[in-house]
Amino acid sequence: WYTAHRRAHQGFTTELDRIASIDGPEQYRLQPLLEFLVRWLTLHILRSDKQMAGAIEAIEAGAGVADARERAVRHLREHSPSGLDSLLQMYMGVERQISEFAKYLASRGQEEAETRFHTLFDSFIHPLVVFDPTDGSIVDANPATSLLTGYSSSALKGKTIAALHPGREQHRFTSRMIDPSQDAPQGFEIPVYTRVLSAEGREVPVRITCAGEIRERNGPLRIAFYEDMTRELEHRRELAWRSFNDQLTGLPNRAGIMQTLNETSPSHEEDGDLAVITVDLNDFRALNQRLGIAAGDRVLVELSRRWREALPQNPDARIGRRGGDDFIIVLRDGETIARTESILQALVDAGHNLPAGPGETVDVSVGAGISIRPTGSSQALETIERQADHALYEVKLRGRHSWEYFDHAHYQGVIDHHRIIRAFREALQQGEIVLEYQPKVNMRTGAFLGVEALARWNHPERGRLQPAEFLPSIQTDPVSIELGEYVLDMALSRMESWQASGQRIPVSVNIGALQLEAESFPQRLETILDRHPSVPRSDLEIEVLETTAFDNAAGAERNMRAVRDLGLAMSIDDFGIGYSSLTYIKRVPANVLKMDRSYVMNMLHDSDDRAIAEAIIGLARSFDRLVIAEGVETMDHGRLLIATGCDYGQGYAIARPMPAEDLSAWLHSWRPPQEWTNIEPG
């Protein structure tokens, strides 16, 4: 009896597991579960478990097992609720009615859900195809699928999904969609790009992705989501065309031309040369401003059409628009290149009577640069184009309406120039520019006037370079301004050091044309001076070339007066080689004239140069200016200058340029030659 009761308890969990494994919606499992639990409550808990409890109480009171069981049965019979079985049957009947009603409500909810699904399915703007993954048969398709394929909904249901695609696409496509085993879902979440074959025989490009799965009693169904790619592909083609072509003129753009260059690049010597011509219109901006951008566009369109017709009609001549009024022409094959100038002349001729608007025509002129790459050359195509651009730049620089061939020698000079500029700027940053100082004296009395600061370049490969070896290359570049400010700052720092050691030494510093003509020069100079407040401003002298002061007379004169207003001295260097005149000497605010060394060097044997030197000395006296002779290389030079009336000099006969550390020793040892001191002033 006890063993049977125990097995009944074990059967409880077994029955629960069985009910839970029933397939179908939740309500399919709910009814049997409720029936089982009610029976267990009435038949087991209220009877069998209660009877077992009574028997255990009797045994504990001293009764035997058989007697205890009999007492428990009798007690349960006498005290059990009457009609328990009837009550159980009544409850089970009510529960069945509730369960049936729940099923009804569930089926009604399912119908509503299915209605909503079909409404969405049918109204979806993209094609959706529901198919059986075991064989690919189409179960359903929305109206958008009919629009894409040309088949009605009923006709689609009679087909397999593979039949919607051309034969060459079917195996590759359906191998990813159809899974006869129905094991793991065959994914095509990654889009499949293929084509649909419509009822009319038209192939439509599509992209297909998995849009989900529907669980059915007979197995899962899958939904394929189709996207018509026709417009997207057209858009891509349009974008690709625009990437390589100019939208306004229809000509290839620079990217298209470079592609052409690569396609037409000769890979073998017998393929011939390659010529690149860059062309632009002269004063086209003024035309746009005068007539408007729309008129300018009409001119460009018509000119492009004429130029395309003017070129030889073969693959060896291509033209493209790089942007704005900038065009490029590629010629390949020696025979075509030989016609370069006649082609250019045709382009020039095409610029006449271009329609700019109703009843209005204009003429445009062009400039062109030509670069020809010889057969077998390894130069990159971009280099040939850049060379043509350089030749065009030279045309524009000279203000000519014509064409120029690329000059390799000139171009190399430009490259070398830029290389020097870059190297010099790095030299300033690395501290490779140093100063030496050359004394200026009264040759007759020996009085020391001061020193001129001279820049030297300690080049890491070429050694110490003199100014003549690098100044001509940088004087037209803004780096010359950087040099001028660098030298000023270094010279003032050295003056501070000398002053700290008890020496007051005046210093003159050269500045270039760009620095003198810059509007900001006085302000920048004052900023540098403010960094060295202990240096008397009257001890600093600014030297400018005579040609610099005259080339931009108004700007130079204004800044020279500003320098004087800051308390600095001014001198004109290399005086006599430029534009010396009475008016000039009177107007320029400089109190020192430094006679150019060429007259000093030649005055010993050239009477003309000696006469010029004497005239400069006379002019300086007349206008109360101090004159200093540069290039005093020998005793004879000094003697002749003193005899002519010029006591002040600078040159090797006095002292070579020297490091700042050597100046003190030179000052202690300096004595003018006796043959100079005995000369009476002129």
CB 387 within 8 A of CB 372: no
On the CB side of 336, how many CA atoms lie within 13 Å of its CA?
A: 22
Q: Is residue 277 helix, strand or coil?
A: strand
Q: Enter the tokens of residue 8.
A: 């009944």
Residue 637: partners with Cβ closer than 8 Å, 6 or more residues away: 600, 601, 603, 604, 629, 631, 649, 651, 653
User: What stretch of H or E contains 523?
Assistant: helix 521-530
CB 389 within 8 A of CB 327: no
Instruction: Specify the higher pLDDT residue, 644 or 410.
Output: 644
Q: Is residue 223 helix, strand or coil?
A: strand
CA angle 243, 249, 251 (to 5 degrees): 55
CATH T-level fold of 419-675: TIM Barrel (3.20.20)
Domain with CATH 3.30.70.270 in the chain: 245-406
pLDDT surpassing 80 at residue 84 = no
- Lowest pLDDT segment from 105-109, 611-615, 652-656: 105-109
Tell me which DSSP letter residue 313 carries.
Answer: S
d(CA 552, CA 579): 12
pLDDT surpassing 80 at residue 138 = yes
Closest Cα to residue 536, out of 509, 490, 505, 561?
505
Dihedral (Cα; 403, 409, 414, 418), 10-degree rounding: 150
d(CA 348, CA 281): 10
CB 243 within 8 A of CB 207: no
Strands (E), 557-600: 569-575, 592-595
CA-CA distances (angstroms) from residue 649 to 442, 671, 675?
Answer: 7, 14, 15
Biggest CA pair distance of the chain: 166
Q: Enter the tokens of residue 623.
A: 């206008």
Closest Cα to residue 584, out of 609, 610, 615, 549?
549
In this predicted model, what pLDDT tens digit does every residue of 329-388 receive, in sequence order? 988 877 777 888 889 999 999 999 999 988 889 999 999 999 988 777 767 778 888 899
The CA radius of gyration of the chain, in Å to the nearest whole number, is 52
Residue 108: partners with Cβ closer than 8 Å, 6 or more residues away: none
pLDDT surpassing 80 at residue 420 = yes
Dihedral (Cα; 406, 408, 410, 413), 10-degree rounding: 140
Closest Cα to residue 522, out of 536, 542, 538, 505?
542
d(CA 504, CA 48): 127
Average pLDDT of the chain to the nearest whole number: 83
Q: Give me the residue label for tokens 């570049």.
A: 477
Give residue 185's pLDDT: 45
Q: Is residue 281 helix, strand or coil?
A: strand
pLDDT surpassing 50 at residue 513 = yes
Band (187; pLDDT cuts 50, 70, 90): very low
Dihedral (Cα; 240, 241, 244, 249), 10-degree rounding: -160
Band (396; pLDDT cuts 50, 70, 90): confident
User: What stretch of H or E contains 528?
Assistant: helix 521-530
Closest Cα to residue 96, out of 32, 181, 189, 164?
32
Q: Is residue 588 helix, strand or coil?
A: coil
Domain with CATH 3.20.20.450 in the chain: 419-675
Domain with CATH 3.30.450.20 in the chain: 124-234
Give residue 41's pLDDT: 59
pLDDT surpassing 60 at residue 598 = yes
Q: Give me the residue label for tokens 């200016």.
A: 625
Closest Cα to residue 391, out of 311, 265, 279?
279
CA-CA distances (angstroms) from residue 63 to 1, 2, 51, 57?
Answer: 17, 17, 15, 9
pLDDT surpassing 60 at residue 207 = yes
d(CA 540, CA 209): 83
Q: Enter the tokens of residue 102.
A: 């729940």
Statement: the pTM of the whole predicted model exceeds 0.85: no
Helix spans in 150-229 (H): 153-156, 167-174
Give residue 184's pLDDT: 39
- The distance of Cα 419 from the centroid of its chain, to the nearest Å, equals 24
- Lowest pLDDT segment from 110-114, 119-123, 291-295, 336-340: 110-114
d(CA 344, CA 337): 11
Architecture of 124-234 per CATH? Answer: 2-Layer Sandwich (3.30)
d(CA 439, CA 452): 7
What share of the chain has pLDDT > 90, as a percent?
41
- For 125, phi then psi, to 5°, come to -75, -20
Give residue 676's pLDDT: 94
In this predicted model, what pLDDT tens digit does every residue of 469-506 receive, in sequence order? 999 889 888 999 999 999 999 999 999 999 999 999 99
Band (183; pLDDT cuts 50, 70, 90): very low
Burial class (CB in 10 A: 0-12, 13-18, 19+), 409: exposed
- Lowest pLDDT segment from 389-398, 409-418, 607-616: 409-418
Strands (E), 310-350: 317-323, 326-332
In this predicted model, what pLDDT tens digit does every residue of 257-286 receive, in sequence order? 888 766 655 444 444 578 899 999 998 999
Range 639-660 average pLDDT: 96
On the CB side of 485, how many CA atoms lie within 13 Å of its CA?
A: 20
CA-CA distances (angstroms) from residue 562 to 248, 476, 537, 575, 592?
Answer: 54, 23, 13, 21, 17
In this predicted model, what pLDDT tens digit does every residue of 1-59 receive, in sequence order? 666 666 666 677 777 777 777 766 665 666 677 666 666 655 555 566 666 776 777 77
Give residue 555's pLDDT: 74
User: What stretch of H or E contains 296?
Assistant: helix 293-310
CATH T-level fold of 245-406: Alpha-Beta Plaits (3.30.70)
CB 347 within 8 A of CB 366: yes
Strand partners, 453: 437, 509
Tell me how crowded residue 444 is: count the other CB atoms within 10 A of its CB: 22
Q: Is residue 625 helix, strand or coil?
A: coil
Task: Give the pairing of strands 366-373 and 403-405.
Answer: parallel
d(CA 369, CA 340): 11
Give residue 86's pLDDT: 53
On the CB side of 318, how many CA atoms lie within 13 Å of its CA?
A: 27
Give residue 576's pLDDT: 75
- For 569, phi then psi, to 5°, come to -85, 155
